[in-house]
Amino acid sequence: MGIKNRIIGGYTYFLTITVVDWVDVFTRPIYRHIIIDSLKYCQEAKGLEIYAWVLMSNHLHLVASATKDGVTMSDILRDFKKFTSKKIVEAIQNENESRKQWLLYRFEYNGRFNPKIKEFKFWQDGNDAKECYSLDFIEQKVNYIHQNPVRAEIVDFPEDYIYSSARNYCGKKGLIDVVLI
């Protein structure tokens, strides 16, 4: 992680976590639910506090903080990325996936020249973390997150996209519990 993406404990961050080569993986529910289940686990076990989120076809945005003593946001993100990478690759290998060979080739290719990677590299390095320094900045990022599926022309209204916290902000039950700003 570079200096511009340094994560310091005790802060809230706007995070972008992106699949290598911007590969559109999260087009199938099975892969999306690996992310959802992992975020829920991080909330329950690691103290991840989520204020807003959206899962798009090739990236995840979060406004979040780490609230458990001794567990940093960097720790949470490292474990989240390691676990989800492995689980999604396993799902691609085991599911009836029409793009199986191509997807696995992309992830294998991206890991080929990195000595830290044993077989497949799913997530890009870093987390594009931006410290949320004011309530106005947080509100701007929450709005950006919720408008993402609208800008992508997936839905007309943010609350209609189920893979987002926009539902929570409209008084509907979301897939993930969030702390409203």
Q: Mind listing the pLDDT tens digit for each residue in 126-136?
A: 888 888 989 99
In a domain, 145, yes or no: no
Domain of 111: which CATH number? 3.30.70.1290
Question: In the prediction, which pLDDT does 9 show?
Answer: 62
Render the chain in DSSP notation, one character per residue.
Answer: --GGG---TT-EEEEEEEBGGG---TTSHHHHHHHHHHHHHHHHHH-EEEEEEEE-SSEEEEEEEE-STT--HHHHHHHHHHHHHHHHHHHHHHS--TTHHHHHHHHHHHHHT-TT-SS---BPSS---EE--SHHHHHHHHHHHHHHHHHTTS-SSGGG-SSBTHHHHTTSPPSS-----
Is 61 domain-assigned? yes
Residue 113, in any domain of the structure? yes
| 85-107 average pLDDT score | 96
pLDDT attached to residue 3: 40
Does 53 map to a domain? yes
pLDDT of residue 98: 95
The pLDDT assigned to 1 comes to 39
pLDDT digits (tens, 9 = 90+) for 1-24: 344 456 666 789 999 999 999 999
In a domain, 153, yes or no: no
Residue 127 has a pLDDT of 83
In a domain, 90, yes or no: yes
**More confident position, 144 or 9:** 144
Structural domains counted in the chain? 1
For 11, the domain range is: 3-134
> Residue 159 falls within a domain, yes or no?
no
pLDDT at 11: 85
Percent of the residues in the chain that have a pLDDT greater than 70, as a whole number:
94
Percent of the chain with pLDDT over 90: 81
Establish if 24 belongs to a structural domain. yes
Note the pLDDT tens digit of each residue in 149-176.
999 999 999 999 999 999 999 999 999 9
Report residue 113's pLDDT band, with 50, 70 and 90 as the boundaries: confident
